[in-house]
């Protein structure tokens, strides 16, 4: 399972914050009680991480990466549609078989182009698949509510007509016009679903961006930092060693 941004609990210790753009390894799960005492308020979205970014900034970066992944899928679907429409162009000129009008080198070109599109990746994660691949997840907190968005490879390779077109071209054989047109319809349906996902991520991005702007306008009401460990130890030592003043008792 790959994630953009998540909250993970391992070995009894909760780790919160940025885990990288895509599936970066978590910190060591060694039990450190001192880190638990310094745990920040999970509702404080203005808390800064070690790199100076707030939690909202990290979530926005994750959404930007997710949008890039979705848009690369849409681009691949659009290129596949263009190739399939070019394959049926000879049929409009009166040819019975759309692919027979092309030489062997042209069929090989179509096959290699479709293969290059379906093998596309984004940060080692496939753009297209069969529908059973593990999705990436974007974990967000919008208006104090946890929201999880899943980003899965588009199941283009499991579409019957598109798979038939690729296998037939791979064997350098003729592809019927009906199969090609049915494959174009499959691609259009997948593109519609992918664009709906893009609109969903854009809405979340706008909502988080507005939340960040509102947070920046609020007064800084953060609590003062707690004294360090050595300062606390020094105060306890002074209290135990130095004599205490006793109240004056009237004679």
Say what the pLDDT of residue 117 is: 96
| pLDDT value of residue 67 | 96
Query: Is the pLDDT assigned to residue 98 strictly greater than 50?
Result: no
> How are the residues of the chain apportioned to helix, strand and coil, as percentages rounded to the nearest 5?
50, 15, 35
pLDDT in tens, 190-210: 999 999 999 999 999 999 998
Q: Is residue 144 part of a domain?
A: yes
- Kindly report which listed range (46-55, 73-82, 134-143, 232-241) carries the lowest average pLDDT score: 46-55
How far from each other are the two terminal CA atoms of the chain, in whole angstroms? 79
Model confidence, pTM: 0.65
In a domain, 38, yes or no: no
- Whether 72 has a pLDDT exceeding 90, the answer reads yes
DSSP 141-181: EETTEEEEEEE--B--TT-HHHHHHHHHHHTT----HHHHH
pLDDT of residue 48: 55
User: How far is the C-alpha of 86 from the C-alpha of 181, rounded, in Å?
Assistant: 11
Which pLDDT score is estimated for 243? 64
Domain encompassing residue 116? 52-215
- Would you say residue 170 lies in a domain? yes
**pLDDT for the residue 22:** 44
CA torsion 76-80-81-87 (nearest 10°) is: 160
Residue 248 included in any domain: no
Counting residues of the chain whose pLDDT is more than 90, the rounded percentage is 47
Which pLDDT value is given to residue 33?
46
Look at residue 227 in the predicted model and tell me its pLDDT: 56
Chain mean pLDDT for the chain: 77
Query: Does residue 130 fall inside a structural domain?
Result: yes
Q: pLDDT tens, 146-179?
A: 999 999 999 999 999 999 999 999 998 889 999 9
* 12 in a structural domain: no
Would you state the pLDDT for residue 132? 92
Per the structure, the count of domains in the chain is: 1
Residue 139 lies in a domain: yes
pLDDT at 13 over 90: no
Selected residue with higher pLDDT from 43 and 64: 64
216 versus 105: which is more confidently predicted? 105
Residue 42 has pLDDT above 80, yes or no: no
- Kindly report the CATH number assigned to the domain that includes residue 134: 1.20.1330.10
In this model, does residue 21 exceed pLDDT 90? no
Establish if 116 belongs to a structural domain.
Answer: yes
């Amino acid at each position: 399972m790959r994630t953009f941004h998540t909250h993970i609990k391992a070995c009894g210790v909760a780790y919160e914050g940025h885990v990288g753009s895509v599936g970066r390894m978590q910190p060591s799960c060694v039990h450190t009680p001192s880190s638990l005492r310094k745990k920040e308020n999970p509702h404080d979205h203005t808390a800064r991480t070690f790199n100076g970014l707030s939690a909202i900034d990290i979530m926005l970066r994750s959404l930007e990466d997710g949008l890039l992944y979705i848009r690369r899928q849409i681009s691949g679907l659009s290129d596949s549609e263009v190739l399939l429409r070019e394959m049926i162009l000879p049929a409009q000129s009166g040819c019975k078989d759309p692919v027979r009008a092309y030489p062997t080198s042209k069929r090989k070109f179509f096959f290699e182009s479709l293969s290059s599109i379906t093998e596309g990746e984004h940060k080692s994660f496939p753009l297209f698949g069969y529908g059973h691949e593990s999705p990436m997840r974007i974990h967000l907190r919008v208006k104090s509510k946890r929201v999880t968005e899943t980003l899965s490879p588009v199941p283009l390779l499991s579409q019957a007509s598109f798979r038939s077109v690729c296998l037939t071209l791979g064997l350098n054989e003729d592809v019927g016009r009906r199969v090609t047109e049915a494959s174009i319809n499959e691609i259009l349906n997948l593109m519609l679903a992918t664009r709906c996902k893009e609109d969903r991520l854009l809405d979340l991005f706008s909502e988080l961006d507005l939340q960040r702007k509102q947070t920046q306008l609020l007064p800084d009401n953060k609590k003062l930092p707690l004294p360090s460990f050595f300062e606390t130890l020094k105060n306890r030592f002074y209290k135990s060693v130095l004599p205490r003043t006793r109240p004056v008792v009237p004679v």
